[in-house]
Structure 1
Amino acid sequence: MRKPLIIVTGASSGIGEATARLLSGRGHPLLLLARRLERLEAMALPDTLCRAVDVTDRAALRAAVDEAERVFGPADAIVNNAGVMLLGDMAHQDPAEWERMLDVNVKGLLNGIHAVLDGMVARRHGTIINVSSVAGRKTFPGHVAYCGTKFAVHAMSENLREEVSAHDVRVITIAPGAVETELLTHTTDAAIRRDYETWKQDMGGVLAAEDVAEAIRFAYEQPQRLCIREIVLAATRQAA
Structure 2
Amino acid sequence: MSSTTTSSPRLIVITGASSGIGLATAQKLSALGHPLLLLARRLDRMQALKLPNALCVPLDICDRAAFVAAVASAEAQFGPVDAIINNAGVMLLGEVSTQDPEQWDRMFDVNVKGLLNGVHAVSAGMVARRTGTIINVGSVAGHKAFPNHVAYVGSKFAVHGLTENLREEMSAHNVRVVTIAPGAVETELLGHTTDEGIKTGYHAWKESMGGVVLSADDVAAAICYAYQQPQGVCIREIVLAATRQQA
Q: What are the within-5 Å matches in structure 2 for residues 47-62 of structure 1?
A: 47-62=53-68
Distance 1:158 1:132 in 2: 11
1:83 to 78, 84, 89: 89
Q: Could you tell me which of 74, 83, 93 is aligned with 2:80?
A: 74
Work out the CA distance in 2 between the residues paired with 1:11 and 1:165.
Answer: 27
Partner residue of 2:222 out of 188, 200, 215: 215
Q: Aligned partners of 1:174, 1:139: CA distance in 2, in Å?
A: 17
Alignment partner of 1:159 is 2:165? yes
Distance 2:32 2:209 in 1: 33
Could you tell me which residue of structure 2 aligns to residue 93 of structure 1? 99
SS in 1 for 2:133: strand
Partners of 1:198 and 1:50 in 2: how far apart? 36
Secondary structure, aligned partner of 1:32: strand
Q: What is the aligned partner in structure 2 of residue 138 from structure 1?
A: 144
Identity of aligned residues (%): 69
Offset at 1:2? 2.5
Report the equivalent of 1:46: 52
1:115 alignment partner, one of 108, 114, 121: 121
Moved more, 138-147 or 196-205: 196-205
Per the TM alignment, residue 202 of structure 1 is displaced from its structure 2 partner at its CA by 1.4
Q: Give unpaired runs (5+ residues) of structure 1.
A: none
TM-score, structure 1 length as denominator?
A: 0.99
CA offsets 1:120-139 (integer angstroms, 9 cap, x no match): 00000000000000000000
Which of the numbers 209, 216, 232 marks the counterpart of 1:225? Answer: 232
Output the CA distance in 1 between the equivalents of 2:123 and 2:140: 25
CA distance in 2, matches of 1:211, 1:17: 12
Q: Following the alignment from structure 1 to structure 2, what is the Cα–Cα distance between the partners of residues 125 and 90? A: 42
C-alpha separation in 2, matches of 1:26 and 1:179: 24
Report the secondary structure of 2:72's partner residue.
helix
Equivalent-residue separation in structure 2 for 1:3 and 1:217 (angstroms)? 13
Q: 2 CA distance for matches of 1:57 and 1:2? A: 31
Alpha-carbon displacement from aligned partner over 1:78-110 (angstroms, at most 9, x marks no partner): 000000000000000000000000000000000
Shift of 1:20: 0.3
Deviation at 1:210, TM superposition (A): 0.1
1:188 is paired with a residue of what secondary structure?
Answer: coil
Q: CA deviation at 1:158?
A: 0.2
Q: How does 1:159-198 map to 2 (within 5 A)?
A: 159-198=165-204
Distance 1:64 1:197 in 2: 37
TM-score of the pair, normalised by structure 2: 0.97
Q: 2:135 aligned with 1:129, yes or no?
A: yes
Distance 2:19 2:219 in 1: 13
What are the Cα deviations for residues 126-161 of structure 1, in whole angstroms up to 9, with x where unaligned?
000000000000000000000000000000000000
Structure 1 stretches (4+) deviating beyond 3 angstroms? Answer: none
Q: Among 35, 44, 60, which residue is 1:29 paired with?
A: 35
